[in-house]
Amino acid sequence: MFAATRIEALDKADFYDQLVQQAHGLLHGEHDRIANAANLAALAWHALEGINWCGFYFFDGRELVVGPFQGKPACVRIALGRGVCGTAAATRTSQLVADVNAFAGHIACDGASRSEIVVPLVDAQGTLLGVWDVDSPRLARFDEDDRRGMQALCAVFIESLQPRAAAA
């Protein structure tokens, strides 16, 4: 039992290592926020099993506004502090929600969503850029490995927006 869990965890870590490498290659040399967000959402959509939405909300200085994504059409604007996305943005803390129906204030864009992970996007200067959001129709689809992996994926995106950091 213990061994099986460990192997599964290693496999998942390997999976995210590869996904992060692919993201590096895909975004390399490009610094446009929309282009890189669109390609990253498409990469994740085809790589991750058991998801029904993945994409970006960008902070416009006042609230979150939907950006490039894959999945069904989504809510356009989310106030800071509202829903899972607004909570991740306001607290600048990744939100791992095993059961969206147990999360007070969850915003249901796609009624099929059962679990969700949201990672805040904060650049090296400490500026809030937005959030990365992934939904699943399965309960508890995401765990700590996903949190680490998604955070690493988001770090690639944030670095790609800064020419000097990306070139280093």
What SS3 class is residue 161?
A: coil
Sign of CA dihedral 27, 31, 34, 37: positive
- Closer to ligand SME by CB, 62 or 164: give it: 62
Nearest residue to ligand SME by CB is 83
**Structure tokens that stand for 8 in this block:** 């599964």
What is the footprint of ligand SME within residues 73-102 (CB under 6 A)? 74-75, 78, 83-86
- Which residue type, as a one-letter code, is found at position 108? A
Site for ligand SME (CB under 6 A): how many residues? Answer: 15
Q: If you count DSSP H runs as helices and E runs as strands, how many of each does the chain have, helices first?
A: 5, 6
- Closer to ligand SME by CB, 85 or 154: give it: 85
| Chain contacts with ligand SME (rule: CB under 6 A) | 53, 74-75, 78, 83-86, 106-107, 109, 113, 116, 133, 135
